[in-house]
Amino acid sequence: MSGKVIAVWICNVLVALLAAASIACYFLGDFWKVNVSLTITRDMISDMVASDSADSDSEWIQAELNNIIDEDGVPVELAFAVETGDVIGSFTGDPAETIDALIGKNVDRIVESLRGPLTEVAKGTAKSVAKTTVKDQVHKNVKDYLTRQGGDAVSDAEVAEKMQTLGITDEYIGNKTDIIIDKIFKDGSTVDSVTDDVMDTIDTVLSDIRTNAAAHSAEDESYADLVDLELSEEDRAAIREDVAEAIGQLSESEDGAIDADALIASLISQALAGKGNGGGQEGARGAMTLAEAPMSEDTAQKEQELEEQVKNYILDMLPEGTHDYLIWVFRAMAILMLISVLSWAYILIKLLVKVFSRPADPTVKLKCPIWLGWLPYLILVGIPSLALILLPNFIQNIPAETASLLSSLQLSVSSAGVIAAIAALVCFVISIFYMVMRKQFRRR
């Protein structure tokens, strides 16, 4: 056997491997996937954790969130995948049930994509609650104490000035409450345990006020009144009640357990509720506070409720008649896949025939897979990707609201059919070699 014949058979083996991989790729990966890059902005998070706090506290909470989310926002990668079984199943069953089942399978992936970024947001939210609670209670106690000592009402501005002088700044309180956040997201934490931590923090802050006031009293007698600052039992009980109410926003369990997963689920629920009830619509809801988020006592039930909410949210966005339309799209996908699979299977059969017939010309014509083997990738990925590249040129010709939505999203499509596309390209190169060899075999 000559070296040229050996080279051809090596190429035949390579083509056979490419054909087998091209057929297998449709059953081992996602047949088609739409990837969406969504940016979570500060405004979106502000709506999620909106509260009735005073303006100064609202600014403080916003500043805390700004530390979590930079100006560019937090990118979240979402994906919606269609598997080979889904497109094949489009020929059987009810269209609505088929689409609902497909969306249901993708919900877990969507929720998991949102969970990571929103975990940091939840920690920031909990921290803002703790910081605001400690700050409010300390300032209120100092104000009431000074009023009782002097007999005249003390303004909030005066209290704020004294606290600033004594080093009880926002940064100081933030550092003191950092440990509380770790305990909130620790397994087994409860409203009572976190409330105890907050009360301990308040006691620590008051102790520092007394120490610093003693140092300042030599220069300014107005600080002397704070040297003996103490909480009465009545004040302590009232403060504890207020703190427990604030921390209670993080739990609605009967035993007061704080479940981080349920908290994250609530934030996602709020994001969807806010998105689905935007302004300008009759009966639209305002921004939900963290306390208004529905939270089940059972975490598993909460997760199930969240998944159902995500699924319903997606289904609500589909116009009437979309189910029937999508079924036909999936059937078209199935036909494209069948054409591709048959073209590669045809080549495998031809190669097997060559092996057993031992012809003088062992080359095979590869026109079939070169033209048809990568059709699914061309139509489902190539053309949509080109359209997405050209889309910015047409944004100015569409309504402003739609243009704004498209600008905030980054879309891309992918498919396991990329293996078949690469195989078709390699076969095109091999076909050139086959063409040269075929001419030499004919001359011989």
- Average pLDDT per consecutive 10 residues, the chain (444 residues; last block may be shorter): 83 94 93 82 60 49 63 75 88 80 81 74 71 81 80 78 85 81 75 85 87 82 79 83 77 72 66 47 33 46 68 72 84 93 95 85 90 94 87 63 61 91 95 90 78
Q: How far apart are CA 226 and CA 144, in angstroms?
A: 11
Q: How far apart are CA 37 and CA 78, in angstroms?
A: 6
3-state secondary structure of 36: strand
Q: Which residues contact 91 (CB under 8 A, 6 or more apart)?
A: 331, 334
What is residue 76's DSSP assignment? E
pLDDT of residue 209: 87
Task: Say if residues 230 and 162 touch (Cβ distance below 8 Å).
Answer: no
Residue spans of the domains in the chain: they are: 3-30+321-443, 34-318
pTM across the whole model: 0.64
Task: Say if residues 415 and 381 touch (Cβ distance below 8 Å).
Answer: yes
Q: Within 10 A of 268 (CB to CB), how many other CB atoms are there?
A: 20
3-state secondary structure of 16: helix
Task: Say if residues 418 and 377 touch (Cβ distance below 8 Å).
Answer: yes
3-state secondary structure of 35: strand
Half-sphere exposure of 232 (CA within 13 A, CB side): 8
pLDDT of residue 275: 47
pLDDT of residue 408: 60
pLDDT of residue 21: 95
Give, in order, the Cα–Cα distances in Å from 3 to each of 7, 239, 266, 315, 423: 6, 91, 69, 62, 25
Q: How far apart are CA 91 and CA 331, in angstroms?
A: 7
pLDDT of residue 68: 64
3-state secondary structure of 74: strand
Short-list 246, 328, 250, 310, CA closest to 112: 310
